A and B are shown apart, each in its own frame.
Chain A
Amino acid sequence: MAPHRGPASRGPVRNEVNRLKHTISALVKNRPRVLTRIAGLFARRGFNIDSLTVSTTENPNSSRMTIVVDADDATLAQICKQLSKLHDVQRVIDHTGEALVEREICLVKLRPPRERRSEVLQLVDVFRGDVVDIGGDVLTVQVVGGPTKVDAFVSTMQEFGIVEMVRTGKVVLTRGTQAT
């Protein structure tokens, strides 16, 4: 069983309901089907995935998965323990309560009325976003940041009529020397 860190790994589990979004990092071996195994585990046990990203790491033999789950404490503990049992999972970290650098990219396609374009551009600036494409009457805007910022950006843009939107899902690293 792979080691795991975080509140969910400690002590007896309290079955109190504390439903929240939690971020988990799983370091996994680069083996065929590792994503299927993890996705299958979530599906089979009825765990909800909010977002999941998979990326390469400093080590070519491992990938890092950043998984955001919607779970109460007991479920979160189960998710971490069940993940740790998978043979291809090397380490699981429940980041609840940890200091993190969190980032995601959001692309939004907008079709603002001509007279409100400059208003949009100003707001994009406030969020330190970039206009990355203009085609016809459509603007594509990119914003990078933590989930709160991206959420705020999206809700701000809503009134201009979002045509399409995509978010990468969040990636995180723990701050300072603590390993992720």
Chain B
Amino acid sequence: MSMTTMRGADAVVRVLQEEGVDTVFGIPGGQMIPIYDALYDTPIRNVLVRHEQGAAHMADGFARASGRVGVCMATSGPGALNLVTGLCNAMMDSIPMVAITGQVTRPAIGRDSFQEADTTGVTIPVTKHNYLVKDEAELADTLREAFYLAATGRPGPVLVDIPGDVARAQVPFNERCIECLDAYEEPLRPVPEDIERAAEMINAAERPLLYIGGGVISANASDLLTELSDKCNLAVVHTLMGKGGFPESRELSMGMPGMHGMAYASHALHECDLMVVIGARFDDRVTGDLSRFSPGTKVIHIDIDAAEIGKVREAHVPIICDARVALEALLPLCRERGRTAWEEHLLQEKQRLPLTYTWDNTGMPPQFVVQKLYEVTQGEAIVTTEVGQNQMWAAQYYKIDRPRHFLSSSGLGTMGFGFPAAIGAQFARPEALVVDIAGDGSIQMNIQEMATAMDFGLPVKICILNNGYLGMVRQWQDLFFDKRYSGVELSARPDWVKLAEAYGAVGFSTDDPEQVVPIMERALEVTDRPVIMDFRVSREENVFPFIPAGQGVENMMLEPPRQ
């Protein structure tokens, strides 16, 4: 076995190359200078961001759009701490990411040294695993293991904290051997009897329904899922994370259930007699009050994480493995099945309870803007979202037909995610049209990344649904707090055209519905820099349907309550 030695920093970069990393996002600082020095000589694209949170979300967006591990970097102390929200965001949505952080030198650790922070301590709860490399001999394999852990099993973020003196030391560099890693495990296989029982239940069900989440997308199982739906005429509901896992323009796509989901989706979930849950985790935004959530329904739960089985809802048949592996096993055992009265009923429900909004004299409905965006981009864009009403309208009105085309901070609900995620996605898919559907509040949380997008000439489009409010919070205050609008008005409303231009980018602004499509068309013509489209929309529009937190389908509001 050949063993060479090299500078720690060079070992880091060698491992990145072995792992196929072609882009890293970050900001250097004292303890990271050696690693940045090593990057200098490589073809790895070194994306200098303007805030480390941006780097984390870019790595996340890169991973979501490509299926590869996203990599971000930060220096010790403040730099590393700025990654925390982004790590938690990736953790909640099971996104494979590796964060490399600088740490003060080993002798300086524990002495409150300049820019020392207990990065591994702080990030334990927001990472799948983390490491502080204390022994330079372990540097290369630790980093390899980080990539391995990030991408296998239930994916997630892994952080490797590297003291400055380890990066500068001469370290041994052994050959890459994944099976030799301490963390290595054989992939999980399903229990054949469970697959058989699941198939029997599907074959026997009167009112079956597929309920899919992000696990279908991370397992690259959308094609098999679609095949299963085709073969057995199974209708599909998806979570926010599962959007794109099954083509939404298909008839049997029943949309997204839950708090702001389509009414027909929530009803379908409520009325089915068998739920086949694939890579979803019964989030409270989907289930509402658990005791009233689809009572009596049988559950087949497919998840790669055993801890998800029974965490929230009892499973009659648990299948613990990758969604793709499970579907491969399940497909041949499921009998062809024609459309039944159940599917006909669902399709009627879809007709009966469509999403609606109204025009009044308060201005342009934000839903209209998203609808036009869908039409102008022909549903082909990679859509990222911010958080709030904009996110829900994006989920409702922009139908997605392919996996990895809808990137949204689902579990954590991180305002400021959408724009850097769009940048990450654009790096992963340079030829793709990438649009961030944004709120005027959220976009200001990472707007500094305009400069990063300019540096690389990225034609990311930002579509702001500008309501001058932290709209989603205002909506709750409107409906449940007597319209006492406390701390939600974004009074100073920046001139978004000037702001875009200040960065050298392109800006448009309008409140005229007639201008929406022309502006979008002009925005699509820009191919060498970001574009901000500021759509001034009706200020107090609310998102419906709405099942208030902790309630059941029967409490669903389909439209604004009458005054």
User: CB < 8 Å: which of B305, B309, B316 contacts A85?
Assistant: B305
How many Å from the CB of B504 to the closest CB on chain A?
A: 44
How many Å from the CB of B68 to the closest CB on chain A?
A: 21
Known contacts: A33-B124, A36-B121. The answer to whether A13 contacts B314 by CB under 8 A is yes
Which A-chain residue is minimally distant from B306 (CB atoms)? A81
Number of A-B contacts (CB under 8 A): 46
How many Å from the CB of B110 to the closest CB on chain A?
A: 12
Bound: A13/B129 CA distance, A: 27
Is the beta-carbon distance between B314 and A12 smaller than 8 angstroms? yes
Asked whether any CB of chain A lies closer than 8 Å to the CB of B315, the reply is: yes
Is the beta-carbon distance between B316 and A37 smaller than 8 angstroms? no
Is the beta-carbon distance between A13 and B124 smaller than 8 angstroms? no
Is the beta-carbon distance between B121 and A12 smaller than 8 angstroms? no
Which residues A23-53 have CB closer than 8 A to chain B?
Answer: 32-33, 36-37, 40, 44
Is the beta-carbon distance between B314 and A78 smaller than 8 angstroms? no
User: CB < 8 Å: which of A12, A15, A36, A82 contacts B316?
Assistant: A12
Is the beta-carbon distance between B311 and A78 smaller than 8 angstroms? yes
Chain A residues with Cβ below 8 Å from B153 are 1
Which residues B110-128 have CB closer than 8 A to chain A?
Answer: 120-121, 124-125, 128
User: CB < 8 Å: which of B121, B134, B310 contacts A74?
Assistant: B310
User: CB < 8 Å: which of A12, A33, A78 contacts B307?
Assistant: A78
Chain A residues with Cβ below 8 Å from B155 are none
Chain B residues with Cβ below 8 Å from A33 are 120-121, 124
Chain A residues with Cβ below 8 Å from B129 are 86-87
Asked whether any CB of chain A lies closer than 8 Å to the CB of B149, the reply is: yes
A66-110 near B? 1/0 per residue, CB < 8 Å: 000000001001100110111100000000000000000000000
Bound: A83/B134 CA distance, A: 25
Is the beta-carbon distance between B310 and A36 smaller than 8 angstroms? no
Is the beta-carbon distance between B314 and A14 smaller than 8 angstroms? yes
User: What is the interface size of chain B, counting residues whose CB is below 8 A from a CB of the partner?
Assistant: 23
Chain B residues with Cβ below 8 Å from A44 are 125
Chain A residues with Cβ below 8 Å from B314 are 12-15
User: CB < 8 Å: which of A13, A37, A87 contacts B309?
Assistant: A13
Known contacts: A15-B314, A40-B125. The answer to whether A87 contacts B306 by CB under 8 A is no
| Secondary structure call for the A interface | helix
Is the beta-carbon distance between B149 and A87 smaller than 8 angstroms? yes
How many Å from the CB of A91 to the closest CB on chain B?
A: 13
Bound: A15/B128 CA distance, A: 27
Which A-chain residue is minimally distant from B128 (CB atoms)? A87
Chain A residues with Cβ below 8 Å from B309 are 12-13, 81
How many Å from the CB of B533 to the closest CB on chain A?
A: 41
Which A-chain residue is minimally distant from B130 (CB atoms)? A33
Chain B residues with Cβ below 8 Å from A14 are 314
Which residues B140-170 have CB closer than 8 A to chain A?
Answer: 149, 153
B301-321 near A? 1/0 per residue, CB < 8 Å: 000011101110011111000
User: CB < 8 Å: which of A12, A15, A78 contacts B318?
Assistant: A12
Bound: A76/B124 CA distance, A: 22
Bound: A40/B125 CA distance, A: 7
Chain A residues with Cβ below 8 Å from B183 are 87
Chain A residues with Cβ below 8 Å from B315 are 12-13
How many Å from the CB of A81 to the closest CB on chain B?
A: 4
Chain A residues with Cβ below 8 Å from B230 are none
How many Å from the CB of B119 to the closest CB on chain A?
A: 12
Chain B residues with Cβ below 8 Å from A87 are 128-129, 149, 183
Which A-chain residue is minimally distant from B301 (CB atoms)? A12
Chain B residues with Cβ below 8 Å from A82 are 307
User: CB < 8 Å: which of B125, B132, B306, B317 contacts A32?
Assistant: B132
Chain A interface (Cβ < 8 Å from any Cβ of B): 1, 12-15, 32-33, 36-37, 40, 44, 74, 77-78, 81-82, 84-87
Other 4 A-B pairs with CB < 8 A, given A12-B316, A12-B318, A40-B125 = A1-B306, A12-B310, A15-B314, A37-B124
Show 8 A/B contacts (Cβ-Cβ < 8 Å), sorted by A: A12-B310, A12-B314, A74-B310, A81-B307, A82-B307, A84-B306, A87-B128, A87-B183
